[in-house]
Amino acid sequence: GMSIVDAMAGKTNFLASNSEARRELIANAISVNKEKVDEQFILSTENLINGKYILLGKGKKSNYILIIEG
Q: What is the pLDDT of residues 39-69, one digit of tens each?
A: 999 999 999 999 999 999 999 999 999 999 8
Provide, rounded to the nearest whole percent, the portion of the chain with pLDDT above 70. 100
Decide yes or no: CATH 3.10.290.10 for domain 2-67.
yes
Identify the pLDDT of residue 70. Answer: 72
The full set of domain ranges for the chain reads 2-67
- Burial of 56: CB neighbours in 10 Å, binned 0-12, 13-18, 19+: buried
| Rounded alpha-carbon distances, angstroms, from residue 37 to 21, 22, 45, 69, 70 | 12, 11, 16, 23, 25
